[in-house]
Amino acid sequence: MQTILTGVRVNEEPTLGNFLGAYTPMINLAHEHANDSNINMFIPDLHSFTTPIDHSKLYDQIIKGVKYYIAAGLDVESPNIHIYRQSHVPAHAELAWILDCFTPYGEASRMTQFKEKGAEHPDAVTVGLFNYPILMAADILLYDAKYIPLGEDQFQHLELTRNIAIRMNNKFDAPIFTIPASEAEQVKFMHLEKGLRIRSLTEPQKKMSKSSENERSKISLSDEPKHAAKKIMSATTDSEGVIRFDMVNQPGISNLLQIESLLSHRELQDVISDWAGQTSYGDLKRKVAESVEHFLADFQEKVSKISDKQVEQVLTKGELYANEVANQKLYEVQRYVGVRK
Ligand code: AQP
């Protein structure tokens, strides 16, 4: 059976960008493929402190992260849906070390996210931040995952994962790893035209990021719904004075149209047509604010109904599965590199 896999770090409260870029495609694919694929939705908790965080909050955030996956619509009763913590499957960290030794330093140095995040945290650029895409490669390759629903910002890391897998397979002349599908195939598999990038509400040329210190730039999944609606009402737009979908010249307006399409489950083209040529940015903002408020109220109610006990049960089941699959792959790799007979 093929494997579809994704994860969202719990360094900060996930945003609407994470929800629409990673949760939504994964949930849609789970609905479509839970009978013919393994659906692995894991919490990449070891990735959570590649940039500085408040460690006293991390454990609670992990549990909340699991609740978010369930509330988003994963059917945890399905035998093929697996939710687990990366830290509770030691093979992730072990394989990452092996992959490190098959990753040229120059190639890893080209990762733009490292450069961007390094610039944001100049006093705290750690080896962990540099190494994070290689741990991500281990997260994927351990399970032979072919499809990885991701936002556009992660495609470079996916390409690195593909390169590492191809290099190892060539080196040992064996199909050790399944090569994840290319960016174009991933996008097609998610039924998208291209990768998704929800923009910052205050600087729409940038992506909405959960670690942004500007609260007004992002909608967090735990935002009070009315407060979130106000953030949409004050989102940065432009002075063109007419509603058009044009990510280059009108990224703020285009971002609102994109959010509206995803939250209302309507084709982007239909939403664009509804608003084309209209001139009241206020009307568009009001519509999107309503959709965001409604979405958050509904989502938060679902989250509040999930108990810690249910989370424990889901994780126990998921981690049993994940350790079994991951250890098998790790042992195979260990044999190829020569540390196991
Ligand atoms: N703005 C976005 N639009 C669409 N998808 C997005 N993702 C993140 N931001 C957007 C997708 O969410 C998944 C989880 O990402 P992550 O938390 O592992 O790391 P990230 O990509 O670094 O996400 P953030 O929100 O920007 O986090 P911080 O600010 O902590 O670095 C990925 O699939 C990502 O593509």
Q: What is the CATH number of the domain that holds 281?
A: 1.10.240.10
Pairing type for strands 145-147 and 81-85 reads unpaired
pLDDT at 95: 98
Same domain, 156 and 133: yes
From the number of C-beta atoms within 10 Å of its C-beta (0-12, 13-18, 19+), residue 213 rates as exposed
Same domain, 44 and 22: yes
Same domain, 165 and 250: no
* Token digits of residue 228: 């979130």
Ligand 1 contact, 197 CB (< 6 A): yes
- CA distances, 94 to each of 44, 168, 202 (Å): 15, 16, 40
Closest CA to 49 of 14, 23, 12: 12
Q: Tell me if 291 is assigned to some domain.
A: yes
| Sign of the four-CA dihedral 175, 93, 66, 313 | positive
Q: Tell me if 210 is assigned to some domain.
A: no
| Cα angle, residue 156 at apex, residues 151 and 161 outer, rounded to 5° | 105
Which of 154, 158, 192 is the best mutation target for the ligand 1 pocket, counting ligand atoms within 8 Å of the beta carbon and taking the most?
Answer: 154
Which of 153, 203, 256 is the best mutation target for the ligand 1 pocket, counting ligand atoms within 8 Å of the beta carbon and taking the most?
Answer: 153
Q: How many domains does the chain have?
A: 2
Centroid of ligand 1 to alpha carbon of 198 (angstroms) = 9
Give the atom of ligand 1 at the shortest distance from the alpha carbon of 47: 18
Q: How far is CA 52 from its chain centroid? A: 19
| Cα angle, residue 137 at apex, residues 134 and 141 outer, rounded to 5° | 145
Q: Tell me if 273 is assigned to some domain.
A: yes
Q: Tell me if 203 is assigned to some domain.
A: no
Closest CA to 154 of 125, 109, 196, 96: 196
* Token digits of residue 267: 């084709």
Same domain, 291 and 314: no
Same domain, 247 and 322: no
Structural contact between residues 244 and 237, judged by C-beta atoms closer than 8 angstroms: no
Q: pTM here?
A: 0.92
Same domain, 9 and 144: yes
Q: From edge to edge, which strands make up the β-sheet containing 81-85?
A: 81-85, 37-43, 2-7, 145-147
Same domain, 45 and 147: yes
Tens-digit pLDDT profile for residues 83-136: 999 999 999 999 999 999 999 999 999 999 899 888 888 888 999 999 999 999
Q: How many other CB atoms sit within 10 Å of the CB of residue 122?
A: 7
Q: How far apart are CA 315 and CA 229, in angstroms?
A: 34
Strand partners, 250: 246
Give the atom of ligand 1 at the shortest distance from the alpha carbon of 117: 31
Average pLDDT rounded to a whole number, residues 58-68 = 96
305 is catalytic: no
Tens-digit pLDDT profile for residues 218-249: 999 999 999 999 999 999 999 999 999 999 99
Ligand 1 contact, 22 CB (< 6 A): yes
Same domain, 56 and 155: yes
Q: Tell me if 243 is assigned to some domain.
A: yes
Q: Tell me if 208 is assigned to some domain.
A: no
Same domain, 13 and 125: yes
CATH of residue 46: 3.40.50.620
pLDDT at 204: 97
Q: Tell me if 156 is assigned to some domain.
A: yes
Average pLDDT rounded to a whole number, residues 23-51 = 94
The one catalytic residue in 67, 146, 210, 329 is 210
Ligand 1 contact, 135 CB (< 6 A): no
Range of the domain at 125: 2-191+308-337
* Token digits of residue 154: 């992660």
Same domain, 128 and 227: no
pLDDT at 150: 87
Q: How far apart are CA 62 and CA 64, in angstroms?
A: 5
Pairing type for strands 37-43 and 2-7 reads parallel
Same domain, 130 and 85: yes
- Mean model confidence pLDDT for the chain: 95
Backbone φ and ψ for 81, nearest 5 degrees, come out as -105, 125
Average pLDDT rounded to a whole number, residues 163-184 = 97
231 is catalytic: no
Q: Tell me if 254 is assigned to some domain.
A: yes
pLDDT band with cut points at 50, 70 and 90 for residue 313: very high
194 is catalytic: no
Same domain, 240 and 132: no
Average pLDDT rounded to a whole number, residues 319-341 = 98
pLDDT at 119: 86
